[in-house]
Amino acid sequence: MADSPSAAPTANTQLANFSAPMTGEQTFELQGRPAKYTVLYFYPKDNTPGCTTEAMAFRDHHDEFTGLGAAIYGLSRDSLRSHESFKSKLGLPFELISDPEEAVCTQFDVMKMKNMYGKKVRGVERSTFVIDANGKVVKEWRGVKVNDHVTEVLDFLKSQPPGAQ
């Protein structure tokens, strides 16, 4: 599980290694990722409209991300069973990380109080982090709006110098 950070990660933050269960009967481990970049996007809940739209956008641009040396991972508090169903239903070519105990969500400071139908609820703030091969955050987006977000992430990766890490 995740180590407790002293502060929320921002650009240029070196992350401590963490691991969490993910789909495909695998374990996500930050250290040793083979990709040049890890795109870790946090979302509130499987099978909800905004989260479905976001997952499909990452799916539809998956080849562009891999062409830029980036691996995509979605993360929410949903169970692995829910994730496996969501992944299958949408035909997602990337894995989903399960964080029901909020260890990784807490490490990235994405748990927030939100208004839902006039009630205050605690939930995941839609956020995306680009992490380099050395485990350093190189870009973050918090309070993400789904429309055009995937394009923003792609544009950032395209702007990185060749061989950058």
Is 51 assigned a catalytic role? yes
Instruction: Give this prediction's pTM.
Output: 0.90
Return the number of other C-beta atoms located less than 10 Å from residue 23's C-beta.
Answer: 23
Helix 149-159, helix 49-60: angle, nearest 10: 40
Do residues 105 and 8 make contact, with C-beta atoms less than 8 angstroms apart? Answer: no
Helix (H, G, I), strand (E, B) or coil at 136: strand
Torsion of CA 100, 13, 138, 133, to 10 degrees: -80
The residues facing 73 across adjacent strands are 40, 95
- Domains defined for the chain, CATH in brackets: 36-159 (3.40.30.10)
What letter would DSSP give residue 9? -
Do residues 73 and 54 make contact, with C-beta atoms less than 8 angstroms apart? Answer: no
Percent of the chain at pLDDT > 90 equals 76
Do residues 40 and 58 make contact, with C-beta atoms less than 8 angstroms apart? Answer: no
Q: What is the predicted pLDDT for the residue at 7?
A: 57
Q: What is the predicted pLDDT for the residue at 53?
A: 96
The span from the CA of 10 to the CA of 163, in Å, is 22
- Give the β-pairing of 95-98 and 70-76: parallel
Q: Phi and psi at residue 121, in whole multiples of 5°?
A: -135, 150
pLDDT in tens, 20-73: 999 999 999 998 888 899 999 999 999 999 999 999 999 999 999 999 999 999
Tokens of 72: 């995509």
The distance from CA 101 to its chain's CA centroid, rounded to whole angstroms, is 16
**Catalytic residue from among 2, 15, 22, 51:** 51
What letter would DSSP give residue 146? S
